[in-house]
Amino acid sequence: MGLRKPDDGTGREGRGQSIKMEQGLRNYLVVTGGYWSFTITDGAIRMLVVLYFHTLGYSPFEVAMLFLFYEFFGIVTNLVGGWLGARIGLNLTMHIGMGLQVVALAMLTVPDAWLSVPYVMLAQAMSGIAKDLNKMSAKASVKIMVSDGGESKLFRWVAILTGSKNALKGAGFFIGAALLELIGFRGALAVLAGALLVVLIITAMLLPTGVGKMKSKPKFTAVFSRIAAINWLSAARFFLFGSRDIWFVVGLPVFLYDMLGWSFTEVGSFMALWIIGYGIVQASAPKLLQHSHRGRGPGGGTARLWVLILAFIPAGIAIGLRQGWPADIVIIGGLILFAVVFAINSAVHSYLILAYSDRDKVSMNVGFYYMSNAGGRLTGTILSGWVYQNHGLEGCLWWSTAFVLAAVVLSLALPEVTDTANVEAEKAGS
């Protein structure tokens, strides 16, 4: 580590640092604005596909399966996307994601006769690639842009970006449904595609080039992390998000629709509100945890505690249903608790992947980490349909509990984080 040069008395160093921080904040806000805009279209397109294809006679399970490629290609995209971002820059991969989303939206504006299952799955695959390119780019950029202020500041900015994204995805559900009602399926898609294209042009003009680009061109094999903490965290992330989607993707909406007699609009609105609430809690996680980590970022101990707490919730819901308690009260109450605890878990994980990563390899580490995230979601999606069909919602909840317990075991290996400098020094000496 080099010695810091003394201030020459002119104040130029202080002014330079201030300008750097202002530029970092400006770039962060531009990235966040672009991410928000993309996220609204991501939520809207999902709701448009769900509602419109339901009216075409698709069963809830068939509608869910339309998103299979959306989840599958998230695995591939995150694996390749982090490596690509390190080679060409995160701003460029973010804009490629936006462009692909515009194309995916336009693909669905064709006549109904063209909307076969393979064609829609292809469009959803493209949308899934776009989403994960955009998400990986935005979150990895935070590590680059918010370079001063310590781990507590990094935790705050990551939580705000991630939590606001989930809240806006829920808002996208409402926007998609409202546009479908007002101007129809194809009109809604055209409006969303046009708006996102405008955002793409604006962010491309405002962001500097080469953000997150490594000086040396990394080999593709470099995407597989050699840092044990990142590998353990990625494995825990796989089971964490699989535990949610095992009962949330297919089992829950089908149960609400078929067993509780909710209308499809009620199901969609409830799930949108759940995601918005989940996002609000996620953005508030630094405040909720500020006493536990005393101004520093959370570490492995925090991750272990909250994932253990999460394990009791799906198990408790399953026991409540088995005991014959009112299903609507048990599920709604359980979902509220699940949203709060799951959001805190997700926020802690999203911070830890950046805290464990070197600045020059952050895009590859984040890509590898979100590949595990996408793998968990894909596994959860498939299991949700299969388990619900054979064992009902209770079966989904017990599978969810098992996945959370697997995340608990994997989290035992997660180290604490004091500050980025210490972490990077340890990795340099290992």
CB-count exposure of residue 14 (10 Å: 0-12, 13-18, 19+):
exposed
pLDDT at 5 over 70: no
Task: Give the C-alpha separation, 217 to 28, whole Å.
Answer: 25
CB-count exposure of residue 115 (10 Å: 0-12, 13-18, 19+):
middle
pLDDT at 342 over 90: yes
Q: What letter would DSSP give residue 418?
A: S
Query: CATH classification of 15-429, choosing from 3.90.1140.10, 1.20.1250.20, 1.10.10.10, 3.40.50.720?
Result: 1.20.1250.20
79/94: higher pLDDT: 94
Element (H, E) at 2: none
- Specify the pLDDT at position 316: 97
Task: Give the C-alpha separation, 130 to 200, whole Å.
Answer: 13
Q: What is the 3-state secondary structure (H, E, C) of 332-357?
A: HHHHHHHHHHHHHHHHHHHHHHHHCC
Task: Give the C-alpha separation, 57 to 253, whole Å.
Answer: 16
Task: Give the C-alpha separation, 51 to 380, whole Å.
Answer: 22
Length of the chain: 430
- Specify the pLDDT at position 2: 41
Per-domain boundaries in the chain: 15-429
Q: Nearest Cα to 101, choosing from 181, 182, 207, 172?
A: 172
First to last CA, the chain: 16
- Specify the pLDDT at position 370: 77
pLDDT mean across residues, the chain: 79
Task: Give the C-alpha separation, 275 to 48, whole Å.
Answer: 17
Per mean pLDDT, which range of 323-327, 352-356, 404-408 is the poorest? Answer: 352-356
Label residue 142 by pLDDT band (50, 70, 90). Answer: low
**Distance from chain centroid for Cα 287:** 20
- Specify the pLDDT at position 249: 76
Label residue 152 by pLDDT band (50, 70, 90). Answer: low
Q: DSSP for 52-99?
A: HHHHTT--HHHHHHTTHHHHHHHHHHHHHHHHHHHHH-HHHHHHHHHH
Label residue 3 by pLDDT band (50, 70, 90). Answer: very low
Per mean pLDDT, which range of 6-10, 58-62, 315-319 is the poorest? Answer: 6-10
Q: CA separation (Å) from 350 to 126, 135, 230, 233, 281?
A: 24, 12, 11, 10, 14
Task: Give the C-alpha separation, 127 to 33, whole Å.
Answer: 19
- Specify the pLDDT at position 259: 84
Count other Cβ atoms within 10 Å, centred on residue 100: 20
What are φ and ψ of residue 214, in 5° steps?
-75, 145
Instruction: Fill in the amino acid letter for 85.
Output: G
pLDDT at 85 over 70: no
Q: Nearest Cα to 331, choosing from 254, 391, 406?
A: 254
Q: DSSP for 279-306?
A: HHHHHTHHHHTHHHHTTSPP-HHHHHHH
Q: What letter would DSSP give residue 112?
A: G
- Specify the pLDDT at position 36: 84
Q: Nearest Cα to 41, choosing from 154, 148, 127?
A: 127
pLDDT over 70 percentage in the chain: 77
pLDDT at 252 over 80: yes
The set of residues, in sequence order, having a beta carbon less than 8 Å from that of 255 and lying 6+ positions away, is: 331, 388, 392, 393
Per mean pLDDT, which range of 87-96, 121-130, 241-250, 412-421 is the poorest? Answer: 412-421
Tell me the pLDDT tens digit for each residue of 177-231.
888 888 989 999 999 999 999 999 998 888 776 554 545 555 555 555 677 888 9
Q: Are 85 and 136 spatial neighbours (Cβ–Cβ below 8 Å)?
A: yes
**Span 1-28, mean pLDDT?**
55
- Specify the pLDDT at position 425: 35
What are φ and ψ of residue 202, in 5° steps?
-65, -50
Q: Are 71 and 375 spatial neighbours (Cβ–Cβ below 8 Å)?
A: no
Q: What is the 3-state secondary structure (H, E, C) of 266-278?
A: HHHHHHHHHHHHH
pLDDT at 308 over 90: yes
Label residue 20 by pLDDT band (50, 70, 90). Answer: low
309/167: higher pLDDT: 309
Q: Are 127 and 45 spatial neighbours (Cβ–Cβ below 8 Å)?
A: yes
- Specify the pLDDT at position 336: 92
pLDDT at 402 over 80: yes
pLDDT over 90 percentage in the chain: 28
154/42: higher pLDDT: 42
